[in-house]
Structure 1
Amino acid sequence: MILKLIANTRSTSLKQRVNGLLNYIQNPENTRTQNLSNYIRQPFASQPAWDEDALLEKCVYANSRNFLDDDPEQQKIEMLQTASLNGRVEDPIVHLVASFKKFEVPTVPQIEQQIDILLRHLNAEALQVQYAMHLDTDNAHYHVVINRIHPFEKNQHQQHKCVNLGDGWILNALHRSAAEIEATQGWRSEPNPMFIYNRRTQTIENNPAYMRTPDTEKLPVPILDRASRHQQPSTLQQEIHFAKSYQQYVETTVQNILRRVNGWAEWHQALAEKGLSFEKKRNGAVFQLKTYSEQITFKASLFCQKQA
C-alpha cells in the first residue's frame, strides 16, 4: 500500500481549508475549492457500512473520531472552531491518502485497524479525524483529514496545542504505518520499503536493504501516480529506468526528437510527451525535467549546438 501526504497548494483561509477539505471528501460532485468531509462521505454519510449494490460509487464507507457530534455538517463547524483555537498555526489541517494495489480492498474492520495504526504512529490518537473509503478508481483508497490542534490540551502560551505529527517526521511515520499495516494484515508491500515490521518483537525497524533514490533520479509525480494506478511502470518510467541517469535520458530523447521535428510547435509537443520542456535563456537555452521534489535544469549546449 501507499500512504501519501497531500500538500496544501492553495492559499486559502482556514475556514475555506476546513470546509473545502471536508466537503471534498464527502461529496464527489463538488469541487475541491468549495468542498475535502462531504467528498469522502457521500453517498453513505448516515450509513457507515459496505453496500454491495453501490460498489461503483465513490464513497462506500466513512467514519470519524474525537468529535462531540456525529453529524458531518456539525463536525465541520466543530473542526473549524477547534482549528481556530491556536492563532499561531496557519494551516493545522492535514490531508492523507492511503492507496492499495489493484484488486486489494480492505474490509471495514481492517480500515479501522489501519486508522488505529496510522494515528498511533502520527501521535494523533486524540485529534479530530475524518476518513472515508473510495472505490471509484482501479485502486481502492481512503482519504484521511486530521486537525493538528488538540481539542483540550494547551501549550505554554495558553493556546490549544498543535500536535507535531510523527514528532516532526511525518513522512517517516507514514512509511512506518504502511510497514505495520502490510505485515499485520497481509497486504503486498511496495518495492524498496524504508522500514520493515519485525514480527518477533512487533516493532518497526529500518530496512537494511533500503536504497535511497537521489532526487535527480526520482520521477515526476504524475508519472508515479499513473504507474501506481495501473500497477505497472509507465512507458516514460521504463525509458528512464533503462537510462543510466537523467542526463543520459535527456540527451537520448533530445537527439531523437531533433532528427524528426520540423518546427517549434512540433518540437515542444514532442518534448512534452517525454516529460521535458525547452526554454530560451539569455544567449542560450535550457531543458527542464520536473522530478518528485524539484525541477532539474540542463544547459541545452550539453545536448545540441546553437545551430540546432
Structure 2
Amino acid sequence: MVDYLLRAGLGDSSGVRLLHSGYRNLLSDTKHARRAEMMALANAATRSPNPVDHWLLSWREDEKPTSKQVDETVEMFLGHLGLGGQPAIYALHGDTNNVHCHIAVNRFDMLTRRMIEINHGFNKEAAHQAVAKIVDHFGWQAEEKQRYTITNGEIILSKRAAKLKALGHKPICTGATAAEWRTGFKSVQRIAQEEAVPIILNARSWPELHERLAAKGMTYERVGTNGIKIGIGEEFVSASRVNSRITMIRRAKDLGDFVARDPSVKVHARSPEQDVLPHAKDAIEYRELCDEYRADRKRRKKLRELERLRKTRKQNAIEIARATLLQNSQAQPEPVIAKPPPNLESYHYWKNDGETAANWCRRRNLFPTLTGQQPADVEPRRIGEFVPFRSGNEVRYARHADAPTVFVDRGDRIDVILAKEDEAIVAALQLAAQKFRGRVSVTGSTEFRERAFVLAQLNGLGAFLIDRDFVDRRAAEDRERRLSDATSKANTSAMSGTVGQAGNPDIDIGTLTKLDSQPSKYVTGERLLSHPPQNAHSDAAGAAERNKQQKNYDRTDAESEAVRRDPAPAAAPAESPERVPSRGFSKETDLSLGSQTGRSR
C-alpha cells in the first residue's frame, strides 16, 4: 500500500500523480525506512488480521488544496478519529479529476498492545463528522448530500440526513454502487427503495402487499424467524438494508401476523428497460453478452463433469466404441465464446466508442461543460478578471489564488464551476472559442444552455456555437429581425411622405417574402454590410431625385419666390401595375443587422 501511495507515476499520469506526501509519528527519515517501520508495527498486531486502515479524502473538482492545507487536513481527520498519535503515511494524488489524499494509519497501540476502536465501531459516522469539521474550518464547499454540518461550533445532523433518518431510509451500500457502475443497471437495493417501499408502507393487508409487489416483479419473503428478504428476479436484498420501516416486525404492528404469498399469485417478469440507469448506453446488449458467456461456461462445466464421471466409471467395449465414433463424428469443435469486458465502460472502449465511455464515467459530473472537436494548445492567459493557475495537466481560473475556482480548462473540455455568474460564462466562452477553433458545443442543464446562448449573442460569440438547436434558433431570430427592420423602415418612409414617388425603389410583399427566405449570413459569423441589389431604373431615378433636391438647395431667395408664384406642372406618375407603392422606402435604407432607423429625404 505504501508503494502505491508514494509512486510518482502510474500509466500516463507521470509527473502529476504524486502532488504531495507526508508522514506522522514515525522515526525513520527515508521512504524505504518508513515503509519498513510501518510493516514492523503492523506485524506486531498478531491477533488482528488487518491493523492498517486505508482512508481516502477527496476534494471537489474546483478545489485545489495546498500542501499546508493537506497536512492540516490529515491532522484534523486523524485527531477526530482518535488516531492522532498513531503512525501514518499519506499522499496527495492528482491523477483524476478530483484531487484526493490516501491515508494509511496503523490502529495498533504499542503501549496497550490493543487495537484502537474508532467511535465504538461506527467509524464511518466519525469520518463524516471529521469531514464536516474540515469543510467548516477551511471554508470549502460541502457536498450536496452531506451528513453532518457545523452549527455554532457543534456537529449536528444535516436537515436532509435528519429527514432520511426519520423516514428510515438507508444509503446505497458500496457494493451496490459498484455493481451499478459495472453493469449500467439499477441495483436491487435501489429498485426496492424506489418501488417496493411505497407499496409495502401503503398496503392495508398482507395479500394486498404480495399482489402489488408481484405485479411489479418483486417478492416479500420470510427468512428465519423475523428476517425478510425482497426478491427481484434472481437477486435478493434484506429489508433492513432498504428501509427500517418495512421489516416484518414493524409491518406486523399494522397488518397483523405475517401471511406468506399465496401460490396462485404469479410474479410478473420485469422488463430490462425499466431498470437501466440514465446514460447507460448499450447496457442491455452488454448484459446479454455476459449472460451468454456465463451460460456457455456453465454448460461446458457440466460437460466436463460428465466426462470426468464417464472416465472414472468402468466401460465395456460397446461403450468405448460408441464414444470413439461420437468423437470422430465431430468434424469441428464448438466455438468458444470470448470473455466479455469486465464492465460497461470497458465494453464501450472494446467497441471503439471512447466518447460514450467517457460520458458514462462523467455521468455524475455536476458542472456544465464547453467542448469541441479539435482542441488547440492555448497558452494560459488572463481573461477579464480571471487569472489562470496551473494544477497538473489542468488550468483553473479564479479571481486570485485563494478565491474559488470559476472554470477549469481540462484539455479536452472546459468545466464551468460557477455556472450562475454571467462573467464566468462569458470568459469560459471566450476561452472555448479560441481553444476549439471557433466551434464550441455547450453541455449542461436547460437553464445553463439558455443562459450561455443569450450571453453569447450579447457578447458577439453566438456564431461560435455549433449545436444544432442554437444554429436554428439564431437563423430564425435573424430572419425575424431582418423582416421587422424592413417593415419598420417601410412604415417610416410612408409616414415621411415619400410614398408614391416615381424614383422611389419600392419593395412589395413578394420582396419581403424573398428577403425572409434568404439564408442568414450572421449564422456563419459574417456581417451583412450591404443592402439588397436594386435595378438600374431605380438607381437612375434615385440619382435624378437627388440632383433635383440639390438644385432646390442651391436656389437663391428670388428664384425660390418665383418658383412658388409659378410652380412647374407636375409630371404624370408612371403607371406600374406590378408595383405596390404603399410599401416602399427610399434607396438610402440600410438592411444590415442591428437596430437602425430608416431615412428618407
Q: Is the structural similarity TM-score above 0.5? A: yes
Q: Does 1:207 align with 2:141?
A: no
1:166-197 C-alpha deviation (Å, 9 max, x unpaired): 33211011101111111111222122322111
- Is 1:220 the counterpart of 2:176? The answer is yes
Q: Aligned with 2:111: secondary structure?
A: strand
More strand, by proportion: 1
Q: Does 1:188 align with 2:119?
A: no
State which of 110, 114, 129 in structure 1 corresponds to 2:69.
110
Q: In the alignment, what sits opposite 1:253? A: 272
Does structure 1 residue 169 correspond to structure 2 residue 125?
A: no
Other structure's SS at 2:85 match: coil
Cα drift, residue 268 of structure 1: 6.4
TM-aligned CA distance change 1:272 to 1:113, over 3 Å? farther
Alpha carbons 1:148, 1:165 under 8 Å: kept:
no
Q: CA deviation at 1:65?
A: 0.3
State the Cα distance separating 1:219 from its structure 2 match. 8.1
- Cα 1:167–1:216 change in 2 (3 A) is closer
- One-letter amino acid of the counterpart of residue 245, structure 1: E
> Are the structure 2 counterparts of residues 219 and 71 from structure 1 closer, same or farther at C-alpha, using a change threshold of 3 Å?
closer
Q: CA RMSD in A?
A: 4.0
The 2-side partners of 1:187 and 1:75 are apart by 32
Q: Residue type of the partner of 1:132?
A: A
Check the 8 A contact 1:60/1:133 in 2, yes or no.
Answer: yes
Per-residue displacement from partner, 1:215-258 (whole Å, max 9, x unpaired)?
Answer: 679883337889xxxxxxxx867xx79x943868993535799x
Distance of 2:174 and 2:43 partners within structure 1: 37
> Letter of the aligned partner of 1:109 in structure 2?
K
SS at match of 1:63: strand
- Quick one: structure 1 residues 87 and 267, their matched pair in 2 at CA, closer, same or farther if it must change by over 3 Å? closer
Greater helix percent: which structure?
Answer: 2
| Match for residue 271 of structure 1 among 283, 287, 291 | 287
Q: Counterpart of 2:285 in 1: which secondary structure?
A: helix
Change (3 A) 1:75 1:218: closer
Aligned positions of 1:1-308 closer than 5 A: 21-27=1-7, 57-150=16-109, 152-154=110-112, 160-198=113-151, 200=152, 202-210=153-161, 211-212=164-165, 213-214=169-170, 220-222=176-178, 244-245=194-195, 251-254=270-273, 269-271=285-287
Cα deviation per residue 1:116-165 (whole Å; 9 max; x = unaligned)? 21111210011011111111111111100011112x312xxxxx221112
Residues 173, 277 of structure 1: alpha-carbon distance in 2 compared, 3 angstrom cutoff: farther
TM-score (norm 1): 0.57
User: What is the CA deviation profile of residues 22-46 of structure 1, one whole-angstrom value per residue up to 9, with x for unaligned ones?
Assistant: 1111115579xxxxxxxxxx98xxx
Return the letter of the residue paired with 2:90: Y
Tell me: higher relative CO, structure 1 or 2? Use CA pairs within 8 A at least 6 residues apart.
Answer: 1
In structure 2, relative to structure 1, the CA distance for the partners of 1:127 and 1:71 (3 Å cut) is same
**How many aligned residue pairs are there?**
211
Percentage identity across paired residues of the two chains: 19
Return 5+ residue gaps in structure 2 as ranges: 197-215, 218-231, 234-269, 277-281, 296-601
The Cα of 1:77 is off from its aligned counterpart by: 1.2
The TM-score, its normalising length taken from structure 2, stands at 0.31
SS at the partner of 1:209?
A: helix
Taking the aligned partners of 2:20 and 2:81, their CA distance within structure 1 comes to 22
Partner SS state of residue 22, structure 2:
strand
Aligned mates of 2:176, 2:10 — CA distance in 1: 27
Deviation at 1:79, TM superposition (A): 1.1
State the secondary structure of the residue aligned to 1:131.
Answer: strand
Aligned-residue offset at 1:81: 1.3
Compared CA separation, residues 244 and 163, structure 1 to 2 (3 A): closer
1:215, 1:136 → 2: CA distance?
28
Deviation (angstroms), 1:111: 1.0
Aligned counterparts of 1:256 and 1:81: Cα–Cα separation in 2: 49
Show structure 1 runs of 5+ residues with no match. 1-20, 32-41, 44-53, 155-159, 227-234, 258-265, 281-308
Partner SS state of residue 153, structure 1: coil
| Larger Cα-atom Rg | 2
| Contact 1:217–1:245 (CA under 8 A) maintained in structure 2 | no
* Residues 252, 181 of structure 1: alpha-carbon distance in 2 compared, 3 angstrom cutoff: farther
> Which secondary structure does the structure 2 equivalent of 1:220 belong to?
helix
Task: State the 1:208 CA deviation.
Answer: 4.2
- Counterpart Cα distance in 2 of 1:216 and 1:74: 40
Match of 1:164, SS? coil
| Counterpart contact for 2:185–2:283, Cα < 8 Å | no
| 1:74 Cα deviation from its structure 2 partner | 0.6
